[in-house]
Structure 1
Amino acid sequence: MNIEALSEYWLTIVSILGLILASAFFSGSETALTAVSRARMHTLESNGDERAKLVNGLIARRDRLIGALLIGNNTVNILASALTTSLFLGIFGDSGVALATIIMTVLLVIFSEVLPKSWAISSPERFALAVSRAVGLFVAVAGPLSTVVNFIVRRILGIFGFNLSRETLMLSAHEELRGTVDLLHREGSFVKDDRDRLGGLLDLEELELSDIMIHRTSMRALNADDPPEQIVRSVLDSPFTRMPLWRGSTDNIIGVVHSKDLLRALAEPDMEPEHLDIVKIAQKPWFVPDSTSLKDQLSAFLRRKVHFAVVVDEYGEVQGVVTLEDILEEIVGDIADEHDLDIQGVRQEADGSIVVDGWVPIRDLNRVLDWNLPDEEATTIAGLVIHESMTIPEERQAFTFYGKRFTVLKREKNRITKLRIRPAVEGQSAA
């Protein structure tokens, strides 16, 4: 073999090695830039890190970035395989094709796929920052070609009814946060209380006032036509600071009585309880639709500096009341200890079963007991049993669904007032 042929031989080998390294660069960059934390990059960019700013710019157009990296990766892989095949054909003849295929497969899998991707996934932020400038330069060059390729791909998939719009490709911010919090909780990085608080905050936009309001059947209100002394006693005996005031019927709310306003009126000189005009003391009621989201109602409470509202349906009929505290409790909860059943209307029995009042909200049970009962079709636990059984059960009637056995303990007219819940036994019938 002459010197010219030998130098060409080594040049080809060096070129193949260089292409393998380039393939490793593209594979590692793709993995790092798709796995990198956007929140972490945003923080670094806010602190003045130019490389983080470049990374954020790259992942903002993820389809263009991935397309460019795949074009680069496939180009160098094909070129490296072609050079290896040509080299081996000259050395081994026709059998060189098989040898080149085997050797390049091993080299590319180990050094261009597994190794760089494992490295990148172990520290995606550091890897992404390190390659950001080189990748940014390559995307600037190959980006137009990547855009054309993505356009062709979208057109082809569109023929078969697949839509690759940004909305279908990416999770909403709420879904992404919720999934992250749940994952961290399962891995032990997040305690249950913290998960519940963040979950409650994320749920504000999805929940409506009808999901958390104090229903009219449980609402404590004052009758404006009652004797003043009786009204004063009712306010003092009530655990609530504010109470709705009605006249004629509970659907006719004419005001809201604040206990402090009542005490101020009673503190006036020569004021006797029997001379008290409760209507003059009452504040004007604020009526809100039951379909209002908790997020909007919280903003309205804070904007108007009011803590109490009367909830009405689309026909203007009173459905219940809601307070600022009710919404805040959806975020912070009212659980002192995650192992205690510190919730009104719930009692744990010695045999491990749970006795629940029918009006207890499903969301509260899920939060306290870490259950996953659905609350889309019903708000209360009694409503869930009625919905699933498609009937109003009799006392001592039992049903099994969602991995739980529900037994009706008490029923008043058409209302289920008390239930016993225990884990379902495998093979237990639904009714």
Structure 2
Amino acid sequence: MRDACFYGGPRKRKDSEKYHHMDSPLPAAVLLLLLMTLMNIMLYGFGAALQNLNQTELEEKAQNGDEKAAQLLKVLDKPGSFITALHIATTILNMAAGAAVFFLVREMNLRYRFATAGEETPGAVALWWVQAMAILLVLFILLLSISVVIPRKMAQDNPERWAERLLSPVSLLMKAVLPIAFPIAAISGGVLRLFGVDPDSDEEKVTEDDIKLLVSEGHEKGIIKAGEAEMVQNVFELDEKEAGDIMTHRTNIVALDGEMTLNEAVAFIRNEANNSRFPVYKEDIDHIIGILHIRDVLNFSEEAACREQKLCDIEGLLRKPNFIPEIRKIDQLFHEMQAQKSHMEIVVDEYGQTAGIVTLEDILEEIVGNIEDEYDEEEKLIVRRSDGTWLLDGMAPLADVTEKLGFAVEEKDLENFETLSGFLIAKLDRIPEEGEKPVIACCGWIFKIRQVGGKTIRTVVAAPGRRAVKN
């Protein structure tokens, strides 16, 4: 038989009077809810503060005698047991908060039942439950905001202040839950060992993707500058690039003939070169016999007997060259060059021929960007002329040309050709002869080859559509 008190029907007024003389749990439930909310604020705020503390600053303070900094360092050094206790405490508090909310709803229900004794209808009961659910939803949103979201955000913005002020009360709370934490830790530790996981290991596994994400977030929030974020990203990309990707191509190498005398080398370096190191070859660039350093040139040129000697005949003048394959990873190459105190490596292809050179500066530029000194002349590979046409260097990167001029090529062309010269030679289907000035129409542009040399296209003039191209 259903309870007539809740579902309707005659109800005696003395039951209502009896209820009002009962001790109501409402004040206790409200007090419990407020207390649990306050404790949650402390725990969630303290946890967020710990995650954002600067350990280096804490160590400095601890060395200067700051006791709270020393205590916080102890928590940070071995956070495993503390985090377990923190999770247990928050779970217990959330359960207690749930109990408080249950008593509040129960009290509201009892008050409603006795207040409407004998008068409630099914519609009125349904309305009451809708109101109760709405109140629960509002309570949930308020509690989540006040006890979790707000303290976390405030602690993240000022972690040191929050951690120092909450250290003592949170430590007392942690001690209260230790009797519960020990058996939980024992059970979870046993299960973890069954799966081959060491529960006592505090080692954090930070991946490359984690660091990239942190850098990206830091840049978006303005904490890390764009240049700094780019450098970090470039460091991680070093192991993806090979020597062949960053080398100076053989056609652009400034090298010296070993048959050249020391005086001739000095004159060449003074008048035509800005480098400090030069590969020295015998017969051709595929037979490099050493590296000439400008400091060695100056030292040996002081000896009159050496000035008219050939570079290849002066003992001790040339330094031993190091040869590497095109596929050598840049990060590995960087460590090798550091260990060998080498600033220049000769890159050879699979047939043993010289493909190019890589310097320590080339590797550093992959991290920090272009490095120029007072002797470097700015290279203008892509220049817009006054008549609206473009003067292009054949060695200009194809991707840069397409971006500047605003036309698109197929993805396979960008993969197959690094330079404009290679792309145009492929379109022409042959290497143009020196002095020849063929015109190539493609991608909605007209390209007139202006200069050819060394089996590559040196300079090109480009104009959109069918526009006449001037020299």
TM-score normalised by length of structure 2? 0.62
* 1:9-408 map, 5 Å: 9-25=26-42, 28=45, 36-37=51-52, 40-45=54-59, 47-48=61-62, 49-50=69-70, 52-53=72-73, 56=76, 68=88, 71-72=91-92, 74-93=94-113, 97-113=129-145, 116-124=148-156, 125=159, 126-127=161-162, 130-131=165-166, 134=170, 137=174, 141=180, 172=209, 174-176=211-213, 178-180=215-217, 182-184=219-221, 187=222, 192-201=226-235, 203-226=237-260, 230-236=264-270, 237-273=272-308, 277-278=312-313, 280=315, 281-313=317-349, 316-334=352-370, 343-349=378-384, 357-360=393-396, 383=418, 392-393=426-427, 397=441, 399=443
User: Mean Cα displacement is larger for which, 224-233 or 63-72?
Assistant: 63-72
3-state DSSP of counterpart to 1:311: strand
One-letter code of the match for 2:245?
D
Task: Kindly state the Cα deviation for residue 268 of structure 1 after the two structures are TM-superposed.
Answer: 0.7
Question: Identity over the aligned pairs, expressed in percent?
Answer: 20
Task: Provide the rounded CA distance (Å) in 2 between the counterparts of 1:76 and 1:204.
Answer: 53
Question: Deviations along 1:65-97, whole A, 9 cap, x unmatched?
Answer: 896577446524432332222222221236765
On the 8 A contact 1:256/1:285 being kept in 2, the answer is yes
Which residue number in structure 2 is paired with residue 5 of structure 1? Answer: 22
Task: Kindly state the Cα deviation for residue 290 of structure 1 after the two structures are TM-superposed.
Answer: 3.3
3-state DSSP of counterpart to 1:265: helix
On the 8 A contact 1:24/1:116 being kept in 2, the answer is yes
TM-score normalised by length of structure 1? 0.66
One-letter code of the match for 1:213?
M
Task: Kindly state the Cα deviation for residue 391 of structure 1 after the two structures are TM-superposed.
Answer: 9.6
One-letter code of the match for 1:250?
I
3-state DSSP of counterpart to 2:304: coil
On the 8 A contact 1:41/1:55 being kept in 2, the answer is no
Task: Provide the rounded CA distance (Å) in 2 between the counterparts of 1:26 and 1:78.
Answer: 17
One-letter code of the match for 1:323?
T
On the 8 A contact 2:40/2:147 being kept in 1, the answer is no
Which residue number in structure 2 is paired with residue 158 of structure 1? Answer: none
3-state DSSP of counterpart to 1:255: strand
* Compared CA separation, residues 266 and 131, structure 1 to 2 (3 A): same
On the 8 A contact 2:263/2:307 being kept in 1, the answer is no
On the 8 A contact 1:23/1:73 being kept in 2, the answer is yes
Question: Deviations along 1:80-130, whole A, 9 cap, x unmatched?
Answer: 332222222221236765444322321231233256413421341244555
Question: Deviations along 1:374-395, whole A, 9 cap, x unmatched?
Answer: xx999999527799x9993456
One-letter code of the match for 1:215?
H
Please tell me whether Structure 1 or Structure 2 has the larger radius of gyration of its CA atoms.
Answer: 2
Task: Number of aligned residue pairs: give it.
Answer: 384
Gaps of 5+ in 2: 1-17, 63-68, 114-124, 192-203, 429-438, 465-471
On the 8 A contact 1:408/1:418 being kept in 2, the answer is no
Task: Provide the rounded CA distance (Å) in 2 between the counterparts of 1:390 and 1:32.
Answer: 60
On the 8 A contact 1:27/1:116 being kept in 2, the answer is yes
Task: Kindly state the Cα deviation for residue 308 of structure 1 after the two structures are TM-superposed.
Answer: 1.8
Task: Provide the rounded CA distance (Å) in 2 between the counterparts of 1:66 and 1:421.
Answer: 68
Which residue number in structure 1 is paired with residue 66 of structure 2? Answer: none
Task: Provide the rounded CA distance (Å) in 1 between the counterparts of 2:382 and 2:182.
Answer: 63
Task: Kindly state the Cα deviation for residue 317 of structure 1 after the two structures are TM-superposed.
Answer: 3.8
